[in-house]
Amino acid sequence: MKKIISLILIVALITGCASAPYTGRSQVILVSEGQEAALGDDAYRHVLRDSVVTRAPDAERIVRKVGERIAAAANKPEYKWEFTIINDPETVNAFAVPGGKVAVYTGIFGPARDEAGLAVVLGHEVAHALARHPAERMSQGLLLQLGGVGLGIALGRNPAVANQVLQVYGIGAGVGVALPFGRAQETEADRIGLILMAKAGYDPRVALELWERMEKKEGGKGAPPEFLSTHPGYETRISQLRSFLPEALIYYQAGAGRVETLPTAESLDTPAAKSERELLKRVEAINRFVAEQNGERPVLEALAYELRINPQVIAQERQKLQVGYGQYAALRGLANLGRESINRIVDDYQRGRSWSDITSANGSRVSELMVWLGDVIRTTHNMARQLRNLPQNPNQRWRP
Protein backbone atom coordinates (compact mmCIF):
# COMPACT_ATOMS: atom_id res chain seq x y z
CA MET A 1 0.00 0.00 0.00
CA LYS A 2 2.81 2.42 0.88
CA LYS A 3 4.43 1.75 -2.50
CA ILE A 4 1.13 2.52 -4.28
CA ILE A 5 0.73 5.78 -2.37
CA SER A 6 4.33 6.74 -3.12
CA LEU A 7 3.77 6.04 -6.82
CA ILE A 8 0.61 8.18 -6.82
CA LEU A 9 2.50 11.02 -5.15
CA ILE A 10 5.35 10.82 -7.67
CA VAL A 11 2.94 10.82 -10.62
CA ALA A 12 0.98 13.69 -9.09
CA LEU A 13 4.11 15.76 -8.57
CA ILE A 14 5.34 15.12 -12.11
CA THR A 15 2.01 15.77 -13.85
CA GLY A 16 1.05 18.66 -11.58
CA CYS A 17 4.02 20.94 -12.22
CA ALA A 18 3.15 24.47 -13.32
CA SER A 19 4.64 27.95 -13.34
CA ALA A 20 3.08 31.17 -12.08
CA PRO A 21 2.64 33.85 -14.77
CA TYR A 22 5.14 36.74 -14.86
CA THR A 23 7.13 35.43 -11.87
CA GLY A 24 7.88 31.93 -13.22
CA ARG A 25 7.64 30.42 -9.72
CA SER A 26 7.29 26.62 -9.82
CA GLN A 27 4.00 25.24 -8.54
CA VAL A 28 2.46 21.83 -7.91
CA ILE A 29 -1.18 21.93 -9.01
CA LEU A 30 -3.30 18.79 -9.12
CA VAL A 31 -6.61 20.49 -9.86
CA SER A 32 -7.57 21.16 -13.47
CA GLU A 33 -8.58 24.70 -14.44
CA GLY A 34 -12.07 23.42 -15.22
CA GLN A 35 -12.44 21.84 -11.79
CA GLU A 36 -11.03 24.94 -10.13
CA ALA A 37 -13.43 27.25 -12.00
CA ALA A 38 -16.44 25.07 -11.15
CA LEU A 39 -15.54 24.93 -7.46
CA GLY A 40 -14.78 28.64 -7.43
CA ASP A 41 -18.17 29.38 -8.97
CA ASP A 42 -19.85 27.29 -6.26
CA ALA A 43 -18.00 29.24 -3.58
CA TYR A 44 -18.92 32.56 -5.21
CA ARG A 45 -22.62 31.70 -5.40
CA HIS A 46 -22.49 30.49 -1.81
CA VAL A 47 -21.23 33.88 -0.64
CA LEU A 48 -23.68 35.92 -2.71
CA ARG A 49 -26.67 33.94 -1.41
CA ASP A 50 -25.81 35.10 2.10
CA SER A 51 -24.75 38.66 1.34
CA VAL A 52 -26.53 41.94 0.68
CA VAL A 53 -25.88 42.78 -2.96
CA THR A 54 -26.24 46.38 -4.12
CA ARG A 55 -27.31 47.43 -7.61
CA ALA A 56 -26.46 51.13 -7.27
CA PRO A 57 -25.93 52.24 -10.91
CA ASP A 58 -22.91 54.56 -10.41
CA ALA A 59 -21.06 52.08 -8.20
CA GLU A 60 -21.78 49.19 -10.57
CA ARG A 61 -20.64 51.21 -13.57
CA ILE A 62 -17.27 52.14 -12.04
CA VAL A 63 -16.59 48.66 -10.64
CA ARG A 64 -17.47 47.08 -13.97
CA LYS A 65 -15.30 49.56 -15.88
CA VAL A 66 -12.26 48.89 -13.71
CA GLY A 67 -12.96 45.16 -13.58
CA GLU A 68 -13.29 44.81 -17.33
CA ARG A 69 -10.01 46.66 -17.91
CA ILE A 70 -8.22 44.39 -15.41
CA ALA A 71 -9.91 41.37 -17.01
CA ALA A 72 -8.66 42.40 -20.46
CA ALA A 73 -5.13 42.70 -19.04
CA ALA A 74 -5.41 39.24 -17.46
CA ASN A 75 -6.12 37.83 -20.96
CA LYS A 76 -8.27 34.88 -19.90
CA PRO A 77 -10.89 34.81 -22.68
CA GLU A 78 -12.27 31.52 -21.38
CA TYR A 79 -13.36 33.23 -18.16
CA LYS A 80 -16.95 34.44 -17.87
CA TRP A 81 -16.34 37.69 -16.03
CA GLU A 82 -18.91 38.89 -13.53
CA PHE A 83 -18.61 41.79 -11.07
CA THR A 84 -20.80 42.13 -7.97
CA ILE A 85 -20.86 44.73 -5.20
CA ILE A 86 -21.72 43.55 -1.68
CA ASN A 87 -23.21 46.19 0.59
CA ASP A 88 -21.16 45.89 3.77
CA PRO A 89 -19.43 49.09 4.97
CA GLU A 90 -17.58 47.21 7.73
CA THR A 91 -15.87 44.71 5.43
CA VAL A 92 -12.73 46.11 3.77
CA ASN A 93 -12.21 43.41 1.19
CA ALA A 94 -12.71 42.02 -2.31
CA PHE A 95 -12.13 38.64 -3.91
CA ALA A 96 -11.89 37.02 -7.34
CA VAL A 97 -12.27 33.33 -8.11
CA PRO A 98 -11.15 31.37 -11.18
CA GLY A 99 -13.75 31.55 -13.88
CA GLY A 100 -13.94 35.34 -13.68
CA LYS A 101 -16.26 35.90 -10.72
CA VAL A 102 -15.34 39.02 -8.72
CA ALA A 103 -16.95 40.55 -5.63
CA VAL A 104 -16.17 43.94 -4.06
CA TYR A 105 -17.32 44.99 -0.59
CA THR A 106 -18.39 48.60 -0.18
CA GLY A 107 -16.12 48.86 2.88
CA ILE A 108 -13.11 49.05 0.59
CA PHE A 109 -14.45 52.05 -1.34
CA GLY A 110 -13.14 54.44 1.33
CA PRO A 111 -9.47 53.34 1.26
CA ALA A 112 -9.59 52.81 -2.53
CA ARG A 113 -11.03 56.30 -3.01
CA ASP A 114 -11.22 56.19 -6.82
CA GLU A 115 -11.03 53.79 -9.74
CA ALA A 116 -7.22 53.78 -9.71
CA GLY A 117 -7.21 52.67 -6.07
CA LEU A 118 -9.83 50.07 -6.91
CA ALA A 119 -7.57 48.86 -9.74
CA VAL A 120 -4.88 48.10 -7.14
CA VAL A 121 -7.36 45.98 -5.20
CA LEU A 122 -8.85 44.17 -8.20
CA GLY A 123 -5.44 43.68 -9.80
CA HIS A 124 -4.25 41.98 -6.62
CA GLU A 125 -7.32 39.75 -6.31
CA VAL A 126 -7.44 38.78 -9.99
CA ALA A 127 -3.70 37.99 -9.70
CA HIS A 128 -4.51 35.35 -7.06
CA ALA A 129 -6.88 33.67 -9.51
CA LEU A 130 -4.54 34.13 -12.50
CA ALA A 131 -1.61 32.59 -10.60
CA ARG A 132 -3.92 29.77 -9.47
CA HIS A 133 -3.11 30.26 -5.80
CA PRO A 134 -6.38 28.62 -4.66
CA ALA A 135 -5.63 25.51 -6.74
CA GLU A 136 -2.13 25.46 -5.31
CA ARG A 137 -3.50 25.52 -1.75
CA MET A 138 -6.08 22.84 -2.56
CA SER A 139 -3.39 20.68 -4.13
CA GLN A 140 -1.33 20.84 -0.94
CA GLY A 141 -4.34 19.57 0.98
CA LEU A 142 -5.03 16.85 -1.59
CA LEU A 143 -1.48 15.55 -1.33
CA LEU A 144 -1.98 15.14 2.39
CA GLN A 145 -5.25 13.29 1.78
CA LEU A 146 -3.86 10.79 -0.74
CA GLY A 147 -2.97 8.33 1.99
CA GLY A 148 -6.65 7.93 2.82
CA VAL A 149 -8.53 8.50 -0.44
CA GLY A 150 -7.86 8.31 -4.15
CA LEU A 151 -7.14 11.48 -6.06
CA GLY A 152 -10.29 11.17 -8.11
CA ILE A 153 -12.44 10.91 -4.98
CA ALA A 154 -10.63 13.81 -3.32
CA LEU A 155 -11.35 16.01 -6.33
CA GLY A 156 -15.02 15.06 -6.48
CA ARG A 157 -17.52 17.87 -6.02
CA ASN A 158 -18.80 17.02 -2.57
CA PRO A 159 -19.60 19.11 0.52
CA ALA A 160 -16.21 18.44 2.12
CA VAL A 161 -14.31 19.69 -0.92
CA ALA A 162 -16.70 22.62 -1.32
CA ASN A 163 -16.01 23.59 2.29
CA GLN A 164 -12.27 23.35 1.61
CA VAL A 165 -12.68 25.71 -1.34
CA LEU A 166 -14.45 28.22 0.86
CA GLN A 167 -11.66 27.99 3.41
CA VAL A 168 -9.00 28.41 0.73
CA TYR A 169 -10.69 31.60 -0.47
CA GLY A 170 -11.38 32.74 3.08
CA ILE A 171 -15.08 33.15 2.26
CA GLY A 172 -16.70 30.57 4.48
CA ALA A 173 -17.95 31.92 7.77
CA GLY A 174 -17.16 35.46 6.64
CA VAL A 175 -14.87 36.87 4.02
CA GLY A 176 -11.40 37.54 5.36
CA VAL A 177 -11.91 35.58 8.59
CA ALA A 178 -9.90 32.65 7.29
CA LEU A 179 -6.38 33.36 6.08
CA PRO A 180 -6.43 31.96 2.55
CA PHE A 181 -2.94 32.61 1.23
CA GLY A 182 0.60 32.61 2.57
CA ARG A 183 2.92 35.60 2.46
CA ALA A 184 4.80 34.31 -0.60
CA GLN A 185 1.54 34.12 -2.55
CA GLU A 186 0.40 37.52 -1.27
CA THR A 187 3.69 39.07 -2.38
CA GLU A 188 3.38 37.38 -5.76
CA ALA A 189 -0.19 38.72 -6.10
CA ASP A 190 1.13 42.22 -5.32
CA ARG A 191 3.71 41.93 -8.07
CA ILE A 192 1.34 40.50 -10.69
CA GLY A 193 -1.41 42.89 -9.61
CA LEU A 194 0.80 45.91 -10.33
CA ILE A 195 1.45 44.56 -13.82
CA LEU A 196 -2.25 43.95 -14.46
CA MET A 197 -3.29 47.44 -13.38
CA ALA A 198 -0.48 48.97 -15.44
CA LYS A 199 -1.58 47.02 -18.52
CA ALA A 200 -5.13 48.19 -17.80
CA GLY A 201 -4.00 51.82 -18.02
CA TYR A 202 -3.75 52.67 -14.31
CA ASP A 203 -0.58 54.12 -12.79
CA PRO A 204 0.89 51.36 -10.56
CA ARG A 205 2.50 54.00 -8.33
CA VAL A 206 -1.00 54.58 -6.92
CA ALA A 207 -0.50 51.33 -4.99
CA LEU A 208 1.86 53.07 -2.58
CA GLU A 209 -0.81 55.67 -1.78
CA LEU A 210 -3.47 53.00 -1.30
CA TRP A 211 -1.40 51.00 1.17
CA GLU A 212 -0.60 54.17 3.06
CA ARG A 213 -4.33 54.76 3.49
CA MET A 214 -4.84 51.11 4.44
CA GLU A 215 -2.10 51.42 7.04
CA LYS A 216 -3.82 54.45 8.57
CA LYS A 217 -7.09 52.55 8.66
CA GLU A 218 -5.33 49.63 10.33
CA GLY A 219 -3.69 51.86 12.90
CA GLY A 220 -6.96 53.60 13.69
CA LYS A 221 -8.85 50.44 14.63
CA GLY A 222 -6.08 48.41 16.21
CA ALA A 223 -6.65 45.43 13.88
CA PRO A 224 -5.82 45.04 10.19
CA PRO A 225 -8.59 45.16 7.59
CA GLU A 226 -9.37 41.78 6.06
CA PHE A 227 -7.58 42.74 2.87
CA LEU A 228 -4.29 42.85 4.81
CA SER A 229 -4.59 39.32 6.23
CA THR A 230 -1.32 37.36 5.95
CA HIS A 231 0.38 40.22 4.11
CA PRO A 232 3.87 41.28 5.09
CA GLY A 233 4.22 44.20 7.49
CA TYR A 234 3.63 47.67 6.12
CA GLU A 235 7.28 48.73 5.80
CA THR A 236 8.24 45.43 4.20
CA ARG A 237 5.34 45.61 1.81
CA ILE A 238 6.05 49.18 0.69
CA SER A 239 9.68 48.23 0.10
CA GLN A 240 8.62 45.24 -2.00
CA LEU A 241 6.12 47.31 -3.98
CA ARG A 242 8.80 49.89 -4.76
CA SER A 243 11.05 47.12 -6.05
CA PHE A 244 8.22 45.83 -8.29
CA LEU A 245 7.35 49.23 -9.77
CA PRO A 246 10.08 49.40 -12.47
CA GLU A 247 8.84 46.13 -13.96
CA ALA A 248 5.18 47.25 -13.81
CA LEU A 249 5.92 50.66 -15.33
CA ILE A 250 7.23 48.94 -18.46
CA TYR A 251 3.63 47.91 -19.16
CA TYR A 252 2.04 51.24 -18.23
CA GLN A 253 0.32 53.44 -20.77
CA ALA A 254 -2.02 56.04 -19.34
CA GLY A 255 -5.65 55.25 -19.99
CA ALA A 256 -7.99 57.71 -21.70
CA GLY A 257 -10.42 59.83 -19.69
CA ARG A 258 -10.49 61.07 -16.12
CA VAL A 259 -10.25 58.81 -13.09
CA GLU A 260 -13.66 58.67 -11.43
CA THR A 261 -14.18 58.89 -7.68
CA LEU A 262 -15.96 56.00 -5.99
CA PRO A 263 -19.15 56.67 -4.04
CA THR A 264 -18.86 56.33 -0.28
CA ALA A 265 -20.03 53.19 1.46
CA GLU A 266 -22.38 55.30 3.58
CA SER A 267 -24.09 56.80 0.53
CA LEU A 268 -24.79 53.31 -0.82
CA ASP A 269 -26.25 52.00 2.42
CA THR A 270 -30.02 51.85 2.94
CA PRO A 271 -32.35 50.92 5.81
CA ALA A 272 -33.34 47.78 3.91
CA ALA A 273 -29.68 46.74 3.54
CA LYS A 274 -29.04 47.35 7.23
CA SER A 275 -32.04 45.20 8.19
CA GLU A 276 -30.93 42.42 5.88
CA ARG A 277 -27.41 42.46 7.36
CA GLU A 278 -28.90 42.15 10.84
CA LEU A 279 -30.92 39.19 9.61
CA LEU A 280 -27.77 37.57 8.25
CA LYS A 281 -26.04 38.09 11.61
CA ARG A 282 -28.76 36.01 13.27
CA VAL A 283 -28.42 33.34 10.60
CA GLU A 284 -24.67 33.24 11.22
CA ALA A 285 -25.18 33.20 15.01
CA ILE A 286 -27.04 29.90 14.68
CA ASN A 287 -24.34 28.43 12.44
CA ARG A 288 -21.65 29.62 14.82
CA PHE A 289 -23.43 28.06 17.80
CA VAL A 290 -23.50 24.69 16.03
CA ALA A 291 -19.81 24.95 15.10
CA GLU A 292 -18.46 26.26 18.41
CA GLN A 293 -20.73 24.60 20.95
CA ASN A 294 -21.24 21.29 19.18
CA GLY A 295 -24.80 22.49 19.33
CA GLU A 296 -26.57 20.52 16.61
CA ARG A 297 -28.97 18.82 19.00
CA PRO A 298 -30.08 22.01 20.84
CA VAL A 299 -30.77 23.70 17.49
CA LEU A 300 -32.66 20.64 16.23
CA GLU A 301 -34.78 20.51 19.35
CA ALA A 302 -35.42 24.26 19.23
CA LEU A 303 -36.56 24.09 15.61
CA ALA A 304 -38.68 21.03 16.38
CA TYR A 305 -40.41 22.93 19.18
CA GLU A 306 -40.95 26.12 17.15
CA LEU A 307 -42.16 24.26 14.04
CA ARG A 308 -43.88 21.30 15.73
CA ILE A 309 -41.92 18.94 13.50
CA ASN A 310 -39.99 15.79 14.43
CA PRO A 311 -36.25 16.58 14.88
CA GLN A 312 -35.27 13.69 12.61
CA VAL A 313 -37.36 15.15 9.79
CA ILE A 314 -35.62 18.51 10.26
CA ALA A 315 -32.16 16.92 10.26
CA GLN A 316 -32.88 14.94 7.09
CA GLU A 317 -34.41 17.90 5.27
CA ARG A 318 -31.55 20.25 6.17
CA GLN A 319 -28.97 17.70 5.05
CA LYS A 320 -30.81 17.22 1.77
CA LEU A 321 -30.85 20.96 1.14
CA GLN A 322 -27.11 21.20 2.01
CA VAL A 323 -27.47 24.49 3.86
CA GLY A 324 -26.34 25.56 7.32
CA TYR A 325 -28.71 25.38 10.29
CA GLY A 326 -29.01 29.16 10.28
CA GLN A 327 -30.08 29.25 6.64
CA TYR A 328 -32.42 26.33 7.21
CA ALA A 329 -34.02 28.08 10.21
CA ALA A 330 -34.60 31.19 8.08
CA LEU A 331 -36.07 29.20 5.19
CA ARG A 332 -38.32 27.17 7.45
CA GLY A 333 -39.28 30.30 9.37
CA LEU A 334 -40.45 31.98 6.19
CA ALA A 335 -42.56 28.98 5.27
CA ASN A 336 -44.01 29.05 8.77
CA LEU A 337 -44.74 32.80 8.64
CA GLY A 338 -46.02 33.26 5.11
CA ARG A 339 -47.98 31.80 2.27
CA GLU A 340 -45.36 29.99 0.16
CA SER A 341 -44.23 26.37 0.38
CA ILE A 342 -40.76 25.50 1.67
CA ASN A 343 -39.85 24.20 -1.82
CA ARG A 344 -40.70 27.53 -3.47
CA ILE A 345 -38.78 29.48 -0.84
CA VAL A 346 -35.74 27.22 -1.16
CA ASP A 347 -35.85 27.60 -4.94
CA ASP A 348 -35.83 31.40 -4.63
CA TYR A 349 -32.92 31.22 -2.18
CA GLN A 350 -30.87 28.89 -4.39
CA ARG A 351 -31.45 31.16 -7.40
CA GLY A 352 -29.78 33.95 -5.47
CA ARG A 353 -32.76 36.17 -4.64
CA SER A 354 -32.17 38.47 -1.68
CA TRP A 355 -33.78 37.75 1.68
CA SER A 356 -35.73 41.00 1.30
CA ASP A 357 -37.18 39.84 -2.02
CA ILE A 358 -37.90 36.35 -0.72
CA THR A 359 -39.70 37.62 2.36
CA SER A 360 -41.71 40.11 0.30
CA ALA A 361 -42.76 37.44 -2.20
CA ASN A 362 -43.79 35.28 0.76
CA GLY A 363 -46.06 37.97 2.18
CA SER A 364 -43.70 38.58 5.11
CA ARG A 365 -41.15 41.17 6.22
CA VAL A 366 -37.49 40.94 7.18
CA SER A 367 -38.35 42.25 10.64
CA GLU A 368 -40.77 39.36 11.21
CA LEU A 369 -38.16 36.85 10.14
CA MET A 370 -35.64 38.42 12.52
CA VAL A 371 -38.10 38.01 15.40
CA TRP A 372 -38.58 34.37 14.42
CA LEU A 373 -34.83 33.72 14.36
CA GLY A 374 -34.48 35.50 17.69
CA ASP A 375 -37.01 33.08 19.16
CA VAL A 376 -35.09 30.13 17.72
CA ILE A 377 -31.82 31.45 19.20
CA ARG A 378 -33.37 31.93 22.67
CA THR A 379 -34.99 28.49 22.58
CA THR A 380 -31.67 26.98 21.46
CA HIS A 381 -29.82 28.45 24.44
CA ASN A 382 -32.56 27.29 26.82
CA MET A 383 -32.37 23.84 25.30
CA ALA A 384 -28.59 23.73 25.65
CA ARG A 385 -28.83 24.61 29.35
CA GLN A 386 -31.43 21.94 30.02
CA LEU A 387 -29.50 19.30 28.11
CA ARG A 388 -26.46 19.99 30.27
CA ASN A 389 -28.58 19.11 33.30
CA LEU A 390 -29.60 15.75 31.82
CA PRO A 391 -26.28 13.84 31.44
CA GLN A 392 -27.78 10.63 32.79
CA ASN A 393 -30.32 10.39 29.98
CA PRO A 394 -28.96 11.86 26.73
CA ASN A 395 -31.93 10.56 24.72
CA GLN A 396 -34.51 12.38 26.80
CA ARG A 397 -36.49 14.98 24.88
CA TRP A 398 -36.54 18.51 26.20
CA ARG A 399 -39.95 19.97 26.98
CA PRO A 400 -40.06 23.77 27.40
Distances (CA, A) of 234 to 177, 184, 185, 204, 292: 20, 15, 16, 17, 33
Strand partners, 102: 83, 96
- Calpha distance 192→198 (Å, rounded): 10
Q: How far apart are the first and last CA of the chain?
A: 54
Catalytic residue (choose from 36, 125, 188, 301) = 125
Strand partners, 83: 102
Residue 177 DSSP code: T
167-170 contacts at long range (C-beta below 8 A, 24 or more positions apart): 168/134, 168/137, 168/138, 169/40, 169/43, 169/95, 169/97, 169/134, 170/95, 170/226, 170/229
- Calpha distance 179→167 (Å, rounded): 8
- Calpha distance 400→397 (Å, rounded): 10
Please confirm, yes or no, whether 125 is among the known catalytic residues.
Answer: yes
B/e letters for 172-208, b = 16+ CB within 10 Å, e = fewer, are bebbbebebbeeebbbbbbbbbbbbbbbbbbbbbbbe
- Calpha distance 274→87 (Å, rounded): 9
Distances (CA, A) of 246 to 32, 176, 204, 239: 33, 30, 10, 13
**Contact (Cβ atoms closer than 8 angstroms) between residue 208 and residue 154:** no
Q: Which residues are catalytic?
A: 125
